């Protein structure tokens, strides 16, 4: 019970060595088994997520949600999958065959690839990459590529418009996301996700830098393309966005990728700011850590759904203004403040360090609110002024006065 993964690994070692394989091949076979097991677990979780999503949105909209198949409708996603699998696979006329079929795979594969660096427990992690944070950013870039390919290859103007919107959204909200990613990196002195989770002892980083956690949460919501940032699939304007032409399981892969992406980003936020697998007894029993990790991830996932189903969609210029004129400068100031304070407070007692960091965050929030309030006053005055819709052109007798 202590550490099942290490036990299985040792058993596999002795078994494969007994078959006469060299150490290099044993590592390769063990990695392949690890990848298959992790992907299977995550994909099965993904089927379950469909049920969670439908059930939660139903509660927010005062409905019951799926409730016919199995207890609480838990078998419903299986029926959904069967339906998607037997649907006709349509390829639009003029679509680029190869590029059209690739994006659904990329959409799901990039999200699965993120799980390679997420530490599920103190000893259960796919790869202890020392640049885990950067890896998350890099994989996000490949995901963006899949969306552009889908939009272009569909040979559909709505799809292309949706892809452009998505890329504009993702590329711009990546900026505050990456900048706030630096805050846990500065605090933990490491870019590895496992190290960041380990260093959050005894205080989670959400206490030290709550503003960073908030900015990261908002940017993650935008990265996911979820409401209020779901301009990429605004039904009333561009039908369904980049996946308009995809049918059956190809659409299913996009949908599964989107749901899993939400859970994955929630997991990464929980690792960066909420201690990941940390909790009472998690160091002695790694399996308990896995449970803590998923509880935290699902709470953040629930908050993402909460926002998604209660807020209306915002306009595209507001969205870009919010990012470039508000989130990005705030994130930049926050990183500078955290880095400076961190360097100035070398040698301070830990609790004092935490208290000063927290105070700095709160002061920053209050300052921001103050600036916003004064801006809002000016804006109200500007909007309130009477503005003529059109000024009449001066009569020709006045304009051409020649005494």
Partner 1 sequence: MTPAQIIFLITAIVTLGSALMVVTTRNMVHAALWLILSLLGVSVTFVLLEAGFLAVVQVVIYIGAIAILMIFAIMLTRGISEKEGPQINRNWPWALLISLAIFAGLAWMLSSWSGLSTQIIPLDSRVDTISQLGQALVSPNHYLIPFEVASVMLLAALIGAVIIAWDGK
Residues that bind partner 1 (CB under 8 A): 22, 24-25, 27-28, 96, 99, 129-131, 134-135, 137-142, 144-145, 148-149, 152, 160, 167, 171, 191
Q: Which helix (H) or strand (E) holds 122?
A: none
Nearest distance in Å: CB 99, partner 1: 7
How does DSSP classify residue 115? Answer: T
Q: For partner 1, give the closer residue by CB, 167 or 320.
A: 167
Task: Check residue 54 and give left, alpha or beta (phi > 0: left; psi -120 to 50: alpha).
Answer: alpha
Nearest distance in Å: CB 167, partner 1: 7
Q: For partner 1, give the closer residue by CB, 23 or 90.
A: 23
* 334/395 Cα distance (integer angstroms): 57
Q: For partner 1, give the closer residue by CB, 23 or 366.
A: 23
Nearest distance in Å: CB 346, partner 1: 16
Nearest distance in Å: CB 268, partner 1: 15
Nearest distance in Å: CB 223, partner 1: 13
Beta strands in 13-77 (DSSP E): none
All residues at 6 or more sequence positions from 239 whose CB lies less than 8 Å from its CB, including other chains: 158
Contact between 238 and 162 (Cβ < 8 Å): yes
Q: For partner 1, give the closer residue by CB, 22 or 370.
A: 22
How does DSSP classify residue 323? Answer: I
* 59/57 Cα distance (integer angstroms): 5
Nearest distance in Å: CB 165, partner 1: 13
* 319/368 Cα distance (integer angstroms): 18
* 289/5 Cα distance (integer angstroms): 13
All residues at 6 or more sequence positions from 255 whose CB lies less than 8 Å from its CB, including other chains: 50
Residue 119 DSSP SS3: strand
Q: How many residues does the chain have?
A: 403
Nearest distance in Å: CB 49, partner 1: 26
Q: For partner 1, give the closer residue by CB, 113 or 338.
A: 113
Contact between 309 and 63 (Cβ < 8 Å): no
Q: Which parts of 189-247 fold into alpha helices (H)?
A: 193-199, 205-208, 210-223, 235-238
Residue with tokens 């308990």: 288
Residue with tokens 């991830």: 297
Count of alpha carbons within 13 Å of 33, Cβ hemisphere only?
12
Q: For partner 1, give the closer residue by CB, 31 or 61.
A: 31
Q: For partner 1, give the closer residue by CB, 88 or 317.
A: 317
Residue 86 DSSP SS3: coil
Nearest distance in Å: CB 151, partner 1: 8
* 94/105 Cα distance (integer angstroms): 21
Nearest distance in Å: CB 313, partner 1: 24
Q: For partner 1, give the closer residue by CB, 184 or 275.
A: 184
Q: For partner 1, give the closer residue by CB, 19 or 86.
A: 19
Upstream peptide bond of 228 is cis (omega within 30 degrees of 0): yes
Q: For partner 1, give the closer residue by CB, 80 or 223.
A: 223
* 33/31 Cα distance (integer angstroms): 5
Nearest distance in Å: CB 24, partner 1: 5
């Amino acid at each position: 019970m202590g550490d099942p993964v290490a036990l299985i690994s040792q058993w596999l070692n002795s078994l494969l060595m007994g078959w006469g394989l060299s150490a290099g091949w044993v590592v390769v076979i063990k990695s392949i088994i690890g990848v298959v097991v992790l992907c299977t677990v995550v994909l099965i979780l993904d089927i379950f997520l469909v049920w969670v999503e439908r059930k939660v949105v139903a509660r927010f909209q005062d409905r019951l949600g799926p409730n016919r198949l199995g207890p609480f409708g838990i078998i419903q996603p299986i029926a959904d999958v069967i339906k998607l699998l037997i649907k006709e696979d349509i390829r639009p006329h003029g679509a680029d065959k190869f590029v059209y079929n690739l994006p659904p795979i990329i959409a799901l594969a990039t999200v699965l690839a993120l799980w390679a660096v997420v530490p599920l427990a103190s000893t259960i992690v796919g790869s202890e990459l020392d640049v885990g944070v950067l890896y998350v950013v890099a994989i996000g870039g490949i995901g963006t590529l899949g969306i552009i390919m889908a939009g272009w290859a569909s040979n559909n103007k709505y799809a292309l418009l949706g892809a452009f919107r998505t890329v504009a959204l993702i590329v711009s909200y990546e900026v505050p996301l990456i900048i706030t990613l630096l805050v846990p990196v500065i605090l933990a002195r490491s870019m590895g996700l496992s190290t960041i989770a380990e260093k959050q002892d005894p205080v989670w980083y959400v206490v030290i830098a709550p503003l960073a956690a908030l900015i990261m949460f908002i940017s993650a919501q935008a990265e996911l393309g979820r409401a209020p940032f779901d301009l990429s699939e605004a039904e009333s304007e561009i039908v369904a966005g980049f996946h308009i032409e995809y049918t059956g399981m190809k659409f299913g892969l996009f949908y599964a990728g989107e749901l899993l992406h939400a859970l994955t980003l929630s997991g990464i936020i929980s690792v960066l700011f909420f201690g990941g697998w940390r909790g009472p007894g998690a160091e002695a029993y790694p399996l308990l850590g896995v449970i803590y990790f998923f509880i935290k991830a699902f709470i953040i996932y629930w908050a993402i759904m909460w926002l998604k189903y209660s807020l209306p969609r915002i306009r595209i210029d507001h969205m870009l203004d919010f990012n470039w004129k508000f989130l990005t400068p705030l994130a930049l100031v926050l990183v500078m403040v955290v880095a400076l304070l961190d360097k100035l407070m070398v040698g301070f007692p830990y609790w004092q360090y935490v208290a000063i960091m927290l105070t700095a965050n709160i002061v920053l929030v209050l300052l921001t609110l103050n600036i916003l309030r004064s801006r809002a006053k000016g804006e109200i005055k500007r909007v309130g002024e009477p503005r003529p819709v059109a000024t009449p052109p001066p009569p020709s007798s006045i304009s051409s006065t020649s005494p």
